[in-house]
Structure 1
Amino acid sequence: MNSSPTGVGRRDFLGRTAGVTAGAALLSTLPTAPASATPRNDASHPVRTQSGLVTGVPAALPGVTVYKGIPYAASTAGENRWRAPRPPASWQGARKADTWGAACPQPVTGIAADKVPPLSEDCLNLNIWTGAGSSTSSRDLRPVFVWIYGGRNSAMWASQPVYDGANLAAKGAVVVTYNHRVGAFGNLAHPALSSESGHGGSGNWGVQDTVAALRWIRRNIAAFGGDPERLTLAGWSHGSSFVNILMISKLARGLFHRAVLSAGVQYTKDPALGHVAGGYAELAAAEANGTAFATYMGAATLPELRALTADEIVTKVYAQGAPAAGTSFGNVLDGYVLPKSYTAAMTSRTEYDVPVLTGNNKDENGASPTLTMTVAAYEAYAATTFGDRAADFLALYPATTDAEAAAQYNAYARDEERVSTFLWGTQFKVTAGNRSPVYNYWWTHVPPGQDTTNPIEPADGAGAYHGAEKYYLFGNLYGTDRPWTAADHAIADTTSSYIANFAATGNPNGHGLPVWPALRTSKPASMELGDHFAPLPAADSEAKYAFLKGHLESQTTEY
């Protein structure tokens, strides 16, 4: 993406009592455990999985049981490092699933020690929340909601309270969170790894972990009251990129049946895809980075790379001043896990045809409540980004003072984000020819205060920031120390009811909820969630929509 002379880009210019009405908001089709059913938090009734019996513990809300740290694959250490996940080992007797599993190796500098779980390459484990009775019949199986965490190679683990699934479980879903490899462990591509893989590519180990988790869930979730034929794959930011990849990959076909992409998806020609979580590197570029990584680590062969300790890798890769070459890890267009580009998936009509719920937030991707910008910088940005259409842009978003420049930049970034998401929806419906509905949202509510319980959350003052909706999607306000208000609880109840309904039926709407229209390609619009629950235009005016649509469609780089 073009940037101003000072390096400013749209996405990186940053000035830097719940649930009381939950039942009424749900569809009547959501199952409830029969009154005679044995609660699953009765330790005398272990659950049988493919690897052995497990017992759970009471979750944060009454009537819900959580099973923590169940292995879904083997350790990724030693010979298993940078290989597809292997099946988990079996155990004898009943395993007490009462402790969160280890997180995968990653930097934790600056995070309070009491907030960091054990770190280990034996980290492929998952957690399950369920309110189903132990005698649930096949006709009473509940929809499954699988969540993929986000982040940028730090504070990436499934046991953070912000991902607690008790509320959604109380609303009728079986919720699963899981740990997967991240950073250098989750994304390293290298010519030697591509050669040994058997399919000519490498990287995307974290996505392959996700496929392994989905396969485990398909084989085992009915024992926890979950319906393997009604599984929603959901993720935020980095996690959303995994969902996006698996909507293209053949590896996960049939393993999920709805998709939630929070912050989110972009139109496939949006320049932002060059550097947001949803972007990817071509295989050759990723392999070149892997070769530089091996040189930087002082390892000449794969056995030498696999002999390095996890601490050595984390310390060097994430050290201050580490070179960019050899330490840049992200998704890879490897031809196997991600077999083709986002655009090619749309045009070849191979994008997975499942109901989609996706959206973005008011204060992310360039917009910020604390943004400062001079008129000169604003006009320079316009000239660099829009070229001979800069005057048209400035006529639509005029600014004569620095305060107006910041406000108009925010207005533009927010419009453009909604337009980009809407255009992705039109690609999904028209270009890909899919029949499933798309429900797109725009999150506007600012969480109050600051959260010291979840290291993934930013400091106070970030507005309706990147990921602010997570609390409300889960409805788990009980998991933090923020000063929640009655309004927050009401917003969380409504939003989590939308999610529970979508998981159950592929449609977020239900009795007592504001109507959320599905995307219509002829009407550029989104659904505001947060401060209000109502449709709003994709941009603040038809003229702005037309300008931004034309700008995005004129881009020559297709991702």
Structure 2
Amino acid sequence: MSLRDVPHPSPADTALGRRSLLGGVAGAAAGATLLGGMAAGPATAAPRGGADRAVRTESGLVTGVPAGAEGITVYKGIPYAASTAGENRWRAPRPAPSWKGVRKADTWGAACPQPVTGIDADKVPPLSEDCLNLNIWTGAASSRERRPVFVWIYGGRASAMWASQPVYDGANLAAKGAVVVTFNHRVGAFGNLAHPELSAESGHQASGNWGVMDTVALLKWIQRNIAAFGGDPDRVTLGGWSHGSSFVNILMISRLARGLYHRALLSSGVQYTKDPALGHVAGGYSSLSAAEVNGTAFAAYMDSSSLAGLRELSADEIVAKVYASGAPSAGTSFGNVLDGYVLPTTYTGAMESGTETDVPVCTGNSKDENGASPTLVMTVAQFNAYAATTFGSRAEEFLALYPAATDADAARQYNAYARDEERVSTFLWGTQFRKTAANRSPVYNYFWSHVPPGADTTNPIMPGQDASTAGAYHGADLYYLFGGLDGTDRPWTARDHEIADTVSSYVVNFAATGNPNGPARGARSLPVWPALRTNRPLSMNLGDGFEPVPAADSDAKFAFLKSYLESQTTAY
């Protein structure tokens, strides 16, 4: 979600939902969530299955530490680019510095400065503009193994945006055969500021999207270095959640990332490119001109008349003012930018011109992140008003498909509609991708249905309230995609472990071949996950069952929602 549309959040509401509807009537689920290289050195050393073995990167030797799965080593906090402080603030990432001797990669790296009010101090990493660092999990015994590489981009909105949270632990996926990489990048004002002077000094008349440029630098680092850790630079999967999935979506269009990755996984990922939700969710963006206006207002708000002055401000000053209570929206709104350089065209334009990168895609959404909620309260009058506002002359047709005679009916039917719309929108995106003339790669779409048990106070990015309130919320699939359930205080059941084993096996198979089907990798079984077919509106149910389900609860509902979405005049 573009931060310009988001109130400054408390940590408790950073991951609840993606779409803001009905002026808050939809209750707990109606929030919205975001969010040049050095020459390579020889990759001669290999981990050989031991944390004490030094691995040679282009910057120097590193050793890791044992991870949370037997035989897996994790390398923490390795710099992939230079500090972004001082003169490097709001510039493309520079090469990482070198070091002599052996660096002990045993400590999580710093995260980008951001608000952390309300988060327990022991859960917050160091905050610094020297934040471009990565973590690697591997079980490879030799650099000759060439295991598939899974790169993960965290989500969030303004707060709790760092890679060292336990929910992103890569040990389980590494134990199943992948080399897993997570990393920190610039966020908020540091990651998205656009300004006319920045555009002028950039050399390509554009600015903003610094966090996406960090991701490109990370992918280049992987190409040059990952073989030393037993990874295959020709089998890189770029995955992300929410704000992170918006980065993946942008890099599927951007020329800057061509050839640097070979599959894409988008959790809470994509919508049909004319879906009105794109004005509010993580995939939204501002035009360069609008972002530059915000940047000019930012400079005025920070009492600085020059870029030099802005670069002299401390990171703490910037965070304190941007996220202060009562801060004006003008000058404090930071999100993705349609800049013509990193993001060269709109999502629709990329589809229509055939410039969307042709790689296998796995993408899906959660049952209770599109405005649906197990605790939704809505009156018939509110439901009817929503129908009139949203569907106009087609409101009666909508209400015939989703009839509500009582307030309980209204809540139930709104939930049914929101869940249908989410599946239909993702399916239509898949048909756009598959019908692009140049694309031959498959799309595997899913709908996450399982509710994680209890509450999570371990990971700041996760909601703290009980599952009975949050439902299958925005990000509920993350535990299971990674498959490691131990890094949380939720009361996991045997069924949760079975689901995690199945889903994480899909992820590693997808990273290995571009197809989630394949070896069970320790799971009891791996149900067949069919690829999207443009003439069959289906989605793969993941969680509470593993089988294809209709994109909407009836053919008539699918036809209505498809027609409504295709009739929209705003093409993102």
Distance 2:258 2:534 in 1: 26
Contact 2:274 2:568 in 1 (8 A): yes
**Aligned match of 2:209:** 204
**1:532 aligns to 2:545 (yes or no):** yes
1:481 deviation in Å?
1.1
Contact 1:11 1:365 in 2 (8 A): no
Deviation digits for residues 445-499 of structure 1 (CA, Å, limit 9, x no counterpart): 0000111110000122201000000000000101111100000000000000000
**Aligned match of 1:495:** 503
Task: State the secondary structure of the residue aligned to 2:182.
Answer: strand
What percent of counterpart residues are identical?
78
**Equivalent residues in 2 for 1:72-471, closer than 5 Å:** 72-133=80-141, 135-137=142-144, 140-458=145-463, 459-460=465-466, 461-471=469-479
**Aligned match of 1:47:** 55
**Aligned match of 1:521:** 534
Distance 2:558 2:381 in 1: 25
1:433 deviation in Å?
4.0
Contact 1:10 1:413 in 2 (8 A): no
The runs of 4+ residues in structure 1 deviating greater than 6 Å are none
Q: TM-score, normalised by structure 1?
A: 0.93
Contact 1:39 1:63 in 2 (8 A): no
1:40 deviation in Å?
3.2
**Aligned match of 1:29:** none
Task: State the secondary structure of the residue aligned to 2:257.
Answer: coil
Task: Describe the shift of the 1:13–1:53 C-alpha distance in structure 2 as closer, same or farther (beyond 3 A).
Answer: farther
1:159 deviation in Å?
0.3
1:52 deviation in Å?
0.1
Which stretch has the larger CA shift, 456-465 or 117-126?
456-465
**Aligned match of 1:546:** 559
Distance 1:9 1:435 in 2: 37
Deviation digits for residues 5-53 of structure 1 (CA, Å, limit 9, x no counterpart): xx9737975311xxxxxxxxxxxxxxxxxxxx9743341x200000000
Task: Describe the shift of the 1:363–1:218 C-alpha distance in structure 2 as closer, same or farther (beyond 3 A).
Answer: same
Counterpart AA for 2:288: L
Distance 2:62 2:138 in 1: 14
1:395 deviation in Å?
0.3
Distance 2:240 2:24 in 1: 22
Task: Describe the shift of the 1:392–1:129 C-alpha distance in structure 2 as closer, same or farther (beyond 3 A).
Answer: same
**Equivalent residues in 2 for 1:52-63, closer than 5 Å:** 52-63=60-71
Counterpart AA for 1:50: E
**1:557 aligns to 2:567 (yes or no):** no
Distance 2:256 2:532 in 1: 28
Task: State the secondary structure of the residue aligned to 1:88.
Answer: coil
1:73 deviation in Å?
0.3
Q: Which runs of 5+ in 2 are unaligned?
A: 1-18, 29-45, 520-524
Counterpart AA for 2:549: L
Aligned CA-pair RMSD: 1.3
Counterpart AA for 1:40: G
Task: State the secondary structure of the residue aligned to 2:290.
Answer: helix
1:329 deviation in Å?
0.4
Deviation digits for residues 364-404 of structure 1 (CA, Å, limit 9, x no counterpart): 02111111111101100000100010000000000011111
Contact 1:10 1:365 in 2 (8 A): no
Contact 2:25 2:378 in 1 (8 A): no
Counterpart AA for 2:562: K
Counterpart AA for 2:491: P
Q: TM-score, normalised by structure 2?
A: 0.91
1:278 deviation in Å?
0.5
Which stretch has the larger CA shift, 203-212 or 430-439?
430-439
Counterpart AA for 2:571: E
1:200 deviation in Å?
0.5
Task: Describe the shift of the 1:157–1:432 C-alpha distance in structure 2 as closer, same or farther (beyond 3 A).
Answer: farther
Distance 1:347 1:339 in 2: 14
Contact 2:47 2:229 in 1 (8 A): no
Distance 1:425 1:10 in 2: 28
Distance 2:437 2:568 in 1: 20
Contact 2:538 2:550 in 1 (8 A): yes
Distance 1:473 1:42 in 2: 25
1:304 deviation in Å?
0.5
Contact 2:47 2:143 in 1 (8 A): no
